[in-house]
Every structure is written in C-alpha cells, then in structure tokens.
Amino acid sequence: MEKPNALPGITNSIVKTQRLEQNVYFSGDENGTPVVFLHGNFSAALYWEETMLSLPGGFRGIAPDLRGYGWTEDKIADATRGMRDWSEDIAALLDVLKIDKAHFVGWSMGAGIIYRLIIDYAPCVLSATMVCPVSPYGFGGSKGEDGQACYDDFAGSGGGVVNQDFVRLIKAGDRGTDDPNSPRNVINSFYYKQPFKAAREEDFLTASLAEKIGDDRYPGDFVPSPNWPNVAPGKFGPVNSWSPKYLGGDAAELVVTDHKPPILWVRGDADLIVSDNSMFDLGTLGSMGYVPGWPGMDVYPPQPMVAQTRAVFQAYANQGGSYSEHIVSDAAHSVFIEKPGEFNALFHEFIIDHQ
C-alpha cells in the first residue's frame, strides 16, 4: 500500500534498530526536547502529523508506526508479554536516536505502551500524556474499579471478540461506505463525534488499512471457552496483548514504581470506544441484548474503563505521583484531531511545565 506524502514540515524515514525497522515521522528542531507520539489500534503514526507541527518551539516530535501497523517492518507481537514488545521497540528506537529522556503521548492502545514504559524505563519518561487511554486493567473481561476478572480464563476479551466482517474488510482494503462495518464507517462513527470528519480522511484511512492482518497479527488468535461468550484470549496479536490476561498486572506495577512522571489524562465526553459503557465491550453489548446468552450484571457487567483508569491514577498519585483529568466536550475518541485547539492548550502547557 502506497504511503501518503508527509505534510510540509514533517520528515519521514525508516530507522533500523536492533529489534526491527520502524517507519518514523519527525518534526521540529533535531536538538529540541523529544516528544514521542504513540498511536492507537487501527491507526498509524500519520494521525499525529498536525499535532507534531503544532508543538511549541524547542520541542522535537517523533512518531513511529508501531509493530504490526503502518509501514514499519512486519513482525509478530507476542501477546503473552502484554505491551512489552512495543515498549521494547520504543526503547530500542530511542537508543538509536541517542535520546535519554522524552515526553510521551499515547492514544488509546498507545497509552498502554506508556504504562509499560513507566514501569520498565521510568527514568526516560519526562511526562506522560494519555489520550482516551485503554484501562490499565486492559480491554474487556474485567469488572469493578479494581479490575476483577469476570472469568478465570478472561473470556470475552482478546482476538476472538473482534467483528470478523470488519477484519475481512480491512484485509480487502475496503474504502467504501455501503457496509456499516467498513473501515471508513467505523472510523467516522467511533473515532469522532458525528458529524465531524477529518480533513485528511483519505490519508488516515490509508494509514489504518496498512495494519497487518492474520491470526498471529490483528486481531490475533483465540481459544474456546466454556464461559460466555465462549472465546478466550490466544497468544498473538494486539487485541490479545491488551487483554487483562496479559495487561491487567500493569496496574499494580504502575502504582508502586519508584519513578512516577506526571500524567495528563485527556478524553472526550462522547467516547464510545473507551468508556464505562463501551460499544466495543462484550459486557455492554450483552447488557443491550446484542450478544445472546449474557450472564447478567453480577457476572459480566460493562467494564468501567474510565472508573478503572481513574482509580489507578488516584492510587498512583497517592503513592507520590500526580495526574490531572480533562474532559473535552463534543469530542469522542480522537480529541487531538476533533478539538486540536483545546487539546494543544492543555498539552503544550503540560510539557512546558515538566521540561
């Protein structure tokens, strides 16, 4: 798939590390304070270009396509390691670029990588900006603010719960609007609060469609389960990586890590992807009657993703860290694209204050 041209002011190159060859976008003065942008699922680094160009003077933007996404070398993500394949990829990239410390910005899944960076590479993290972050307990399969597993095998999370029509259409490179599960419709319906559409809709779609598809890529494999909805996480691919089976332990480690960089948490008030009633969570869909056999609120309620994140961040603050939460009105899952002025005002003040 042909890569869209970078915007004026953005440079793009392949950077070879000890782990893989990464497609990376750069902005700003090479000697400026580094700001590393980590994209979410079904997206790519290209989504960050406008945000990178808006950085204040004295900062250098760096946005890699993550393993399995965009135009980075195609390598498998071992889901049993949680987010470590990605965090170690980023650490290897920083090593090649000779960067000791950086601000980090993570969107959705990308924020999950920052949790791991704080745990394993804390001294290199000047600050952490979380945009609509995945819960520190993972996505799906847990309940309560403490992230209790709904089932011992974490059924209802992982690669087996992804809409297969959506996967099929990604693999086919579909750019249409006829099917409600088409990649374009999913982006426009859930990344943004309608009727918003991104000016770079075509480039964003192209970048998203570059995601690698397969049982050991996106969405990943799965195993049968005796528990509702009869599938549990496998061992490969991104959706398994952020299952609570493999990611959930990061919450406790994050709270007790010695070095605690400040956290800025920004989310949209209309987010339907990461919310306490996510339209991508089996607990929510079951409670609405969309998935048959739902075992009820006591067993499998909607995952309180926002409440879980707030509880972990508060525990982080109680143990010597700090965080601030900001809710942006009339925005969904892509606050930095939908409301760039409001997002940048918060974000720029934050990174300037924590140089």
Q: Over the stretch 224-270, which tens digit does the pLDDT of each residue have?
A: 999 999 999 999 999 999 999 999 899 999 999 999 999 999 999 99
Q: Is the pLDDT of residue 129 over 90?
A: yes
- Is the bond preceding residue 195 a cis peptide, omega within 30 degrees? yes
Q: At 341, list the tokens.
A: 């002025």
| pLDDT number for residue 113 | 98
Query: How many Cβ atoms sit within 10 Å of the Cβ of residue 2?
Result: 7
Q: What percent of the chain has pLDDT over 90?
A: 99
| pLDDT number for residue 47 | 98
| Least confident piece of the model among 46-50, 59-63, 213-217 | 213-217
What's the mean pLDDT in 16-44?
A: 98
| pLDDT number for residue 58 | 97
| pLDDT number for residue 25 | 98
Q: How confident is the model at residue 290 (pLDDT cuts 50, 70, 90)?
A: very high
Which residue do the tokens 């209802």 mark? 156
| pLDDT number for residue 181 | 97
C-alpha to C-alpha distance for 107 and 134, rounded to whole angstroms: 8
What's the mean pLDDT in 319-329?
A: 98
Q: Is the pLDDT of residue 1 over 90?
A: no
SS3 of residue 10 by DSSP: strand
Domain 10-139+193-207+248-353 CATH class label: alpha beta
| pLDDT number for residue 296 | 98
What's the mean pLDDT in 39-51?
A: 98
SS3 of residue 335 by DSSP: helix
Q: Is the pLDDT of residue 355 over 90?
A: no
C-alpha to C-alpha distance for 288 and 81, rounded to whole angstroms: 33
C-alpha to C-alpha distance for 282 and 231, rounded to whole angstroms: 11
C-alpha to C-alpha distance for 328 and 103, rounded to whole angstroms: 22
Mean pLDDT, all residues of the chain: 97
What's the mean pLDDT in 42-52?
A: 98
